Amino acid sequence: MSPARLSANSAAAKIKAGELSSEALVQACLDRVSEREPEIRAWSWLDADAALAQARACDRAVGPKGLLHGVPIGVKDVIDTADMPTAYGSAIYKGYRPRADAACVSLARAAGAVILGKTETAEFASIHPAATRNPLAPAHTPGGSSSGSAAAVADFMVPLALGTQTGGSTIRPAAFCGVVGYKPSFNRVNRAGLKFSAESFDTIGFFARSVDDIALLAHVMSGQERLGDAGLREDKAPRIGLCRTSRWSQASSQMREVIESAAQKLAAAGADVELVALTPAFEQLHEAHAVIMQYEAARATAWEYRVHGDLLSPAYHQRMRAGLAIPHERYEAALRQAESGRQDFADVWGELDVLITPSAVDEAPLGLENTGDAVFNRIWTLLGVPCVHLPFGTGTAGLPLGLQVVGRRQGDVATLTCARWIEDRL
């Protein structure tokens, strides 16, 4: 088996034991990139020589080593890197080199990670898609805006990648590409060095091929407990709420069947599964999310719009005009509504550990013109709660489906513990 197919945990363990060099691992990933990148287009910038130099430095290092020592990782190109260009998915910033790494990149380096390169993103992490294709079916979208990160992990180009989520930009690409995606609780991972889209929602997210690998990266980034140290015992069946949300009818029949089947399998495995209904007030959070996101995004890129508007896509121009037209009073009302929703959500839980709900409307749609619908992601992003996508089942086109595990705000370790229990049973 190629080292490129190793999990992050396995690769780190082999490097620590002297059974694998970082150089060999990075070279295997680069070989995979060389083979597949002309079709998949997951990377906006990659320098093989620089990546190998990082790996050789890891192999020469003496003394204590970090948890990701020698393990390669991809970084979404809205996250600053001091030694690599950061273009934010826009021609405006072609060749731009930030002076400093983003906090999350610096933490990854401190843990010994090799930054393999920058992954493609939609323009300013918005709606105009990148060139990336779905590695499982290149005529289908990989999702957005973290398209390159999801595709690179799914196609064994790298075991871990960083993304972001403002609406559904981590969970949906993970769903479409068939990998594990994790959106932490809001501000769980420091956001310094991220090009903001909407400051009220923007969250650093992770991609991997297992919950264990997600948990390893989460520990590095936030210092939270590693799985096994959580208060919820991993051999204890969780209490799960099946939450269809008010948009259940917008999910395809096959997606609804997958969620119902997952609930049945988990109940058969010993979980206490019950239906959870959100009050009608939660339906209004969809509109509140749209107002806040458009208002903040239009102001976050005001300079780019005013000075370099000719280099923005028509879709981004339209979003800017819509956001700038929102009255401040409407924005403030949406903020109040969001905060009220967060307080109300605390009353939903009772004795439940997590909720399960669709990650996306359906499998990845045909075509590359748009990145899909975030209808099953927006309210969880607004509520600031942790979400984990787990692949489960396939659709009529043979592409992955799956479910979203939703936890309590700042209950990330318990959520990941439950997600791993669910992953093992499904």
Q: What is the pLDDT of residue 208?
A: 99
- pLDDT for the residue 188: 98
Catalytic residue among 76, 118, 183, 195: 76
For the chain, percent of residues with pLDDT exceeding 90: 97
What pLDDT was estimated at residue 226?
A: 86
- The DSSP element (H or E) to which 345 belongs, if any, is helix 328-345
Nearest to 45 by CA among 6, 7, 80, 8: 80
Per-residue DSSP letters for 76-111?
ETTB--TTS---TTSGGGTT---SS--HHHHHHHHT
pLDDT at 261: 98
Q: Is the pLDDT of residue 227 over 90?
A: no
| Contact between 401 and 252 (Cβ < 8 Å) | no
Going edge to edge, which strands form the sheet with 203-208?
43-46, 114-119, 72-76, 160-165, 203-208, 180-183, 387-394, 400-406, 354-358, 239-243, 272-276
* Residues 104, 195: Cα–Cα separation, whole Å: 13
pLDDT in tens, 263-294: 999 999 999 999 999 999 999 999 999 999 99
Residue 229 pLDDT: 59
- What torsion do the CA atoms of 148, 152, 154, 159 make, to the nearest 10 degrees? -130
Q: Is residue 297 within 8 Å of residue 200, measured between CB atoms?
A: no
Return the structure tokens found at 415: 């959520």
- Give the pLDDT confidence of 175-221 residue by residue, as tens digits: 999 999 999 999 999 999 999 999 999 999 999 999 999 999 999 99
Structural domains of the chain in order of their starting residue, each with its CATH number = 3-222 (3.90.1300.10)
Euclidean distance between CA atoms 150 and 42, whole angstroms: 8
From 44, 90, 126, 145, the catalytic residue: 145
> pLDDT averaged over the chain?
97
Is position 145 annotated as part of the catalytic site? Answer: yes
Q: What is the pLDDT of residue 243?
A: 98
Q: Of the listed 126, 147, 149, 169, which one is catalytic?
A: 169
